[in-house]
Amino acid sequence: MRRPVARNLTALAVSAAVVSVGAAAPPAAPHRAATPKTPVAVGYGGAVSSVDADASAAGIEVLRKGGNAVDAAVATAAALGVTEPYSAGVGGGGYFVYYDAKSRTVRTIDGRETAPRTADEQLFTENGKPLAFADAVTSGLSVGTPGTPATWQTALDRWGTRGLGSVLKPAERLARDGFTVDETFRSQTATNEQRFRYFPDTAELFLPHGRLPAVGSTFTNPDLARTYRELGREGVGAIYRGDLGADILDAVNKPPVDPASGWNARPGDLSREDLAAYRAKVQAPTSTSYRGLDVYGIAPSSSGGTTVGEALNILERTDLSKASQARYLHRYIEASRIAFADRGRWVGDPAFEDVPTKQLLSQRFADSRACLIRDDKVLTSPLAPGDPRHPAACGTKGKAAPTTYEGENTTHLTVADKWGNVVAYTLTIEQTGGSGITVPGRGFLLNNELTDFSFAPANPAVHDPNLPGPGKRPRSSISPTIVLDRHAKPVVALGSPGGATIVTTVLQTLTGFLDRRLPLVDAIAAPRASQRNAAQTELEPALYDSALRGRLEALGHSFKLNPEIGAATGVQRLPDGRWLAAAEKTRRGGGSAMVVRSGH
C-alpha cells in the first residue's frame, strides 16, 4: 500500500504499514540471511569493492549480464543508497573517476551539490554570528541541490551501455525485499536517534515501531523502491524538473519537523530554478607523476586530487621504500600538513575562485614546500600556505588557516570490468544521516552538504575560497584515484570516505601500496594517521598504542586518538590479467570485495 506523500504535519503520523521491519513480525525477527563479506577477491570478468556485500553483489550482477564498469558502478551506488542510506543516496552528491580502456584516458564527473541561487557569504550567519554547527546540520538550510542522480545519468549517457532503469533494478529489488541489519547500521541509527525523532517521516522509516532496528532483522524501504522505479521509468528529470523534485523542495523549504520536538529546523531556499539549472560537470582529472606512474584524481571543486597530488610530489624525493617506519610516517605526516595548508588557502569552486590547480600540482612548487621538512623536528601547525604561482624555497605566504570540519560518513566503491575499464566513485550525503530530513513518501535522506562551506572566514586577514555563494559548490576532500603505468594501463584504483581524512587515507594507502610494497588489502587495513594542518595528528589505536608513537613524539609530534579513520576500497590489475578487489578487514564492519569469476 502506498502512503500518500505528506504535504503537512497532520499526514506525518507514524504508520506500522510501512515500517522497515515486516508488520507480521517483531523487530528482532530475522527474515533474510546476511550476504557474506570478504575483504579480498581475485578473478576474472570484472570486480567490485564496496563497504556492503549486497551493494557489491548488485554491481557483480550487472557485470555478469554484460554491463560495463560504469553500469556496475551506478548499480552499486544505487544499492548503497539502500543499505548505506546514512552515507549516500539520491539526495546527495559525489565525484566519479572513469578510466576508458579503449582510449586509455581518464575522465571525471563533478557531481557535487550546489547552494541555492539566493545564497551568499552570510548563509550560515545569524544575528551577526556563525551558526552552531549542530544547528546548521539538521536543517533545510544545509541542503544543497542533489547531484547524484545527474551523475548517474551523465556517466551512463557518456560511457555506459545500459539505461538507468536497467541498472537501478537490483537496488529497487533490494529496497523492496530488504537487507539484514548489522551492528554498524544499528549503531549509526542510534547515534542519530534523537535528531531522527525530530522528523516523523525519518523516525517512521529508520526507527521501526518507534525503536532502533534490531541486528539480524530485515530492513525494507518500499518508498525508495518506488522512487527508483520512478527514476528508471521517467529519468532523472523527475528530480530536476518533476514531481520528485517538488517533494524535495517542500522538504527543504518547509522541513517536516514534529512541532512537539521543539527543534528549530531552519528552512532552506532551494527553488525549481536551482533544480532545473543543475548540471553534473564532466571535466579533466588532476594528474601528477609519482615513481614513474601517472596518478589521476578529481579536480576542484574537490580538493582531493590537488592535495593528494601535492603531497605525493612532496614525497617524491624521499625513498619511502627504504625508510624506517618512523621516518616514513614522519615524512607522510609532514607532507600532509603542508598540502592541507595550501589547500585551505587556494582551493574552492573554480566557477567562483581562481584556483591554481596546475601550479599546485607542479613539482617545482612541491620542492619549494618539501624543503620545510626536517627529519629531526616537526613543523608547527597551523602552517602558513605557500604561493604556487611564485614558489619560493621554503617560503610561506600570508597567514595560516585551520582546516574546517567536514562530515566523515561517506561511501566509496571501486569497479573494473572484463574490458579493462575502471571506476573509482565516492558519493555522500555529508555526515552520518545527512540533514536528518527524509523526503516524505520518497524513502531517502537529504544531504547537509552546504555545511562543508566555511561559515565565516577561517582567518579574516586571508581570502577564504570556500565561503558560500549563489550556485556555488562547497569544497570537498573526496579523492577517488586511479593510477596508470607508463603504458597507460591500470595499476590500482581506490578511494575512501571520511571527510577531510579522505585525503590522508588515500595518500597513506597509495604510499603503503606503491612504496612500502604492501598487498592492497593490507595497505587498506594498515593503521592510519591523519594530519590536516592541525596542532595534533590523529592516530588509530594500533598506532596510538605502539612504540612508534613515542619515537614520533620525540621529534615533536603531538597526537590524539581517533578510533577509526576511513573505510577504503580498491581494485588492482594483476600482471596476468586478473582483477584483485580489496576492501576493509574490520573498519565499518568490514567491506565486501567480489569478482565475476574467482580464479587463482
Confidence at 34, pLDDT banded by 50, 70, 90? confident
- Dist CA 69 CA 579 (whole Å): 13
E strands, 445-574, in order: 481-484, 490-495, 529-530, 537-539, 559-561, 569-573
Answer yes or no: are the C-beta atoms of 18 and 222 closer than 8 Å: yes
**Is the pLDDT assigned to residue 419 strictly greater than 80?**
yes
Q: How many residues does the chain have?
A: 600
Q: Given this model, what pLDDT does residue 35 score?
A: 80
Name the burial class of residue 261, with classes exposed (0-12), middle (13-18) and buried (19+) by CB atoms within 10 angstroms of its CB.
middle
pLDDT tens across 244-275, in order? 999 999 999 999 999 999 999 999 999 999 99
Strand order in the sheet with 559-561: 529-530, 537-539, 559-561
- Predicted local distance difference test score (pLDDT) of residue 11: 31
Task: State mean pLDDT over 408-434.
Answer: 94
Percentage with pLDDT > 70 across the chain: 93
pLDDT band at 6 (very low <50, low <70, confident <90, very high): very low
CB 434 within 8 A of CB 191: no
Q: Give the model's confidence band at 409: pLDDT under 50 very low, under 70 low, under 90 confident, else very high.
A: confident
Q: Is 24 exposed, middle or buried (0-12, 13-18, 19+ CB in 10 A)?
A: exposed
pLDDT band at 529 (very low <50, low <70, confident <90, very high): very high
Neighbours of 479 (CB within 10 A): 32
Check if the beta carbon of residue 583 is closer than 8 Å to that of residue 49: yes
User: Which residues are 46's β-sheet partners?
Assistant: 417
Q: What is the pLDDT of residue 78?
A: 98
Give the pLDDT confidence score for residue 407 in this predicted structure: 58
DSSP one-letter string for 298-340: PPTTBSHHHHHHHHHHHHTTS-TTTS-HHHHHHHHHHHHHHHH
* 19-26, Cβ contacts within 8 angstroms, sequence gap of 24 or more: 19/204, 19/205, 19/208, 19/209, 20/178, 20/205, 20/206, 20/208, 20/213, 20/219, 20/220, 20/221, 21/208, 21/209, 21/213, 21/214, 21/217, 21/218, 21/219, 21/220, 22/218, 22/220
The rounded radius of gyration (Å) of the Cα atoms in the chain is 23
Q: Cβ distance 343 to 462 under 8 Å? A: no
Q: What is the pLDDT of residue 399?
A: 75
Q: What is the mean pLDDT of the chain?
A: 93
179's CB contacts (< 8 A; 6+ apart) are 32, 34, 35, 54, 82, 83, 218, 219
Which of 11-18's residues contact partners 24+ apart within 8 Å by CB, and which partners?
A: 11/440, 12/200, 12/201, 12/204, 12/256, 12/258, 12/440, 13/200, 14/200, 14/203, 14/204, 14/210, 15/204, 16/209, 18/204, 18/205, 18/222, 18/223
pLDDT at 351 over 50: yes
- Contact in structure between 225 and 175 (CB atoms under 8 Å): yes
Residue 13, all three cell numbers: 503520523
Q: Comparing C-alpha atoms, which of 345, 396, 402, 360 is closest to residue 533?
A: 402
Average pLDDT over residues 201-210: 96
Rounded to whole angstroms, the Cα distance separating 311 from 381 reads 16
Residues 6+ apart with CB under 8 A from 387: 395, 397
Which SS3 state, helix, strand or coil, does residue 106 take? strand
- Identity at 522, one-letter amino acid code: D
- pLDDT over 70 at 481, yes or no: yes
The answer to whether residue 457 scores a pLDDT higher than 90 is: no
pTM of the model: 0.93
CB-CB contact of 395 with 340 (8 Å): no
Instruction: With a cut of 70, say whether residue 72 has pLDDT above it.
Output: yes
Cβ within 8 Å of residue 339, ≥6 positions away: 307, 308, 310, 311, 314, 503
Cis peptide bond upstream of 30, omega within 30: no
Residue 366 in this model has a pLDDT that exceeds 60: yes
Residues 544-590: tens digit of each pLDDT: 999 999 999 999 999 999 999 999 999 999 999 999 999 999 999 99
Using a pLDDT cut of 90, give the percent of the chain over it.
89
pLDDT tens figures, 118-142: 999 999 999 999 999 999 999 999 9
Reported as a single tens digit per residue, the pLDDT across 84-111 is: 999 999 999 999 999 999 999 999 999 9
pLDDT band at 31 (very low <50, low <70, confident <90, very high): low
Contacts of 389-395 spanning 24+ positions with Cβ under 8 A: 389/356, 389/359, 391/359, 391/362, 391/364, 391/365, 391/367, 392/368, 393/367, 393/368, 394/368, 394/369, 395/368
**Does the structure show a pLDDT above 70 at 215?**
yes
Please give the grid coordinates belonging to residue 357: 590547480
Torsion of CA 313, 319, 323, 328, to 10 degrees: 10
pLDDT band at 459 (very low <50, low <70, confident <90, very high): confident
CA distance 57 to 64: 10
Confidence of residue 12 (pLDDT cuts 50, 70, 90): very low
In this prediction, residue 308 carries a pLDDT of 98
String of b and e for 142-176 (b: at least 16 CB within 10 Å)?
bbbbbbbbbbbbbbbeebbebebbbbbbbbbbbbb
**DSSP for residue 476:** B
384 grid coordinates: 602558513
Q: State the pLDDT confidence band at 18, using cuts at 50, 70 and 90.
A: very low
Flag whether pLDDT at 383 surpasses 70. Answer: yes
Q: How far is CA 327 from CA 315, 472, 517, in A?
A: 12, 40, 16
Res 164: pLDDT: 98
Query: 229 pLDDT exceeds 80?
Result: yes
pLDDT digit string, tens, across residues 500-513: 999 999 999 999 99
Helices (H) and strands (E) in the chain, counts: 19, 20
Q: Which residues of 6-20 are buried (b: 16+ CB within 10 A; e: fewer)?
A: beeeebbeeeeebbb
Q: 400, 417 in Cβ contact below 8 A?
A: no
Catalytic residue among 410, 414, 501, 511: 410
Helix (H) or strand (E) holding 427: strand 422-428
Mean pLDDT on 286-305: 98
The question of whether 148 is a catalytic residue gets the answer: no
**563 DSSP assignment:** S
